[in-house]
């Protein structure tokens, strides 16, 4: 079967990436495995390196780059959005508060899914809303497990501190009271991709009058259980297996809440 696309430069670039799938390669090894002329192989490998699709190891050999892992994670996160609605709905129904899913985009976080409290006073965050990374429990979660340099940059304008983030990492969840908006409290927990990297944050939020000034004591167990549910969805997607059916979400969440959680 002809495996060419008709776009020569893309076919050649694909052959370079395909060769690196087997492991690190010198330029001479790339030439041998792809059949490309040496100048062509070098030019393509360097161009792919510029786009982070190819990188170099300690010996200067070409290897697959970090951008490929980021793209694979993004593809897996499509599963995350598909699974988010039933999980957030179950979380809302259990806590009686609005539930959200946030992803980080640069210096902001974006609400990518939500289940609103149907009646009464609520903290309404529409899907697509862009919020700061400087305040709120979801921002704490999305920053707490970052690399040190990025974490320290994120703290420069944040209302929370490095000590607070240390507590978030220790407990596995975050809480905030009147950080993002006066009178609003929230609890958040991390969703992790197959590599273990934090890729999203599950949150519940509402007025301090209902959530109190220690909202984690009320809702951290439910929020952590929901986040773990979505982490499991991504883990199964990363291993090519099928996750549990959405109809089991509520019973699964209830089962996870039978064990007590640690207080703030």
Q: Give the pTM.
A: 0.67
Dihedral-angle region of residue 106 (phi above 0 means left; psi in -120 to 50 means alpha; beta otherwise): left
Q: What is the C-alpha to C-alpha distance for residues 142 and 138, in angstroms, rounded to an integer?
A: 6
Q: How many CB atoms lie within 10 A of CB 197?
A: 13
Evaluated on CA atoms 211, 216, 217, 221, the torsion sign reads: positive
pLDDT per residue of the chain (264 residues) written in tens, 0 to 9? 456 778 989 999 999 999 998 889 999 999 999 999 999 999 999 999 999 999 999 889 999 998 887 776 666 557 788 889 999 999 999 999 999 999 998 889 999 999 998 776 666 788 999 999 999 999 999 999 998 988 999 999 999 999 999 999 999 999 999 998 999 999 999 999 888 999 999 999 999 999 999 999 999 999 999 999 999 988 887 655 544 444 456 666 666 665 444 443
Predicted local confidence at residue 256, as pLDDT: 62
* Nearest alpha-carbon partner for 139 in 112, 158, 163, 124: 158
Report the pLDDT value the prediction gives residue 144, as an integer from 0 to 100: 97
- Residue 245 is predicted with a pLDDT of 46
């Amino acid at each position: 079967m002809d495996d060419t696309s008709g776009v020569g430069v893309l076919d050649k670039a694909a052959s370079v990436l395909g060769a690196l799938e087997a492991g690190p390669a010198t330029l001479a090894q790339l030439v041998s495995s792809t059949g490309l002329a040496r100048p062509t192989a070098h030019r393509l490998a360097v161009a792919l390196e510029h786009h982070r699709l190819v990188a170099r190891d300690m010996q200067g050999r070409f290897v697959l780059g970090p951008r490929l892992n980021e793209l694979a994670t993004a593809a897996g996160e499509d599963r995350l959005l598909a699974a988010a609605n039933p999980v957030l709905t179950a979380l809302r129904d259990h806590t009686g508060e609005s539930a959200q899913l946030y992803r980080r985009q640069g210096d902001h976080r974006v609400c990518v899914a939500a289940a609103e409290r149907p009646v009464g006073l609520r903290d309404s965050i529409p899907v697509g809303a862009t919020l700061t990374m400087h305040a709120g429990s979801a921002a704490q979660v999305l920053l707490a497990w970052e690399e040190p340099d990025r974490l320290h940059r994120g703290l420069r304008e944040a209302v929370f501190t490095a000590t607070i983030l240390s507590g978030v990492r220790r407990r596995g969840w975050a809480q905030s009271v009147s950080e993002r908006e006066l009178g609003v409290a929230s609890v958040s927990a991390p969703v992790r991709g197959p590599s273990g990297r934090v890729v999203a944050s599950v949150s519940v939020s509402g007025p301090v009058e209902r959530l109190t000034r220690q909202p984690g004591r009320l809702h951290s167990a439910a929020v952590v259980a929901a986040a773990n549910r979505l982490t499991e969805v991504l883990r199964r997607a990363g291993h090519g297996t099928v996750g549990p059916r959405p109809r089991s979400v509520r019973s699964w969440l209830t089962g996870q809440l039978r064990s007590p959680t640690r207080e703030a």
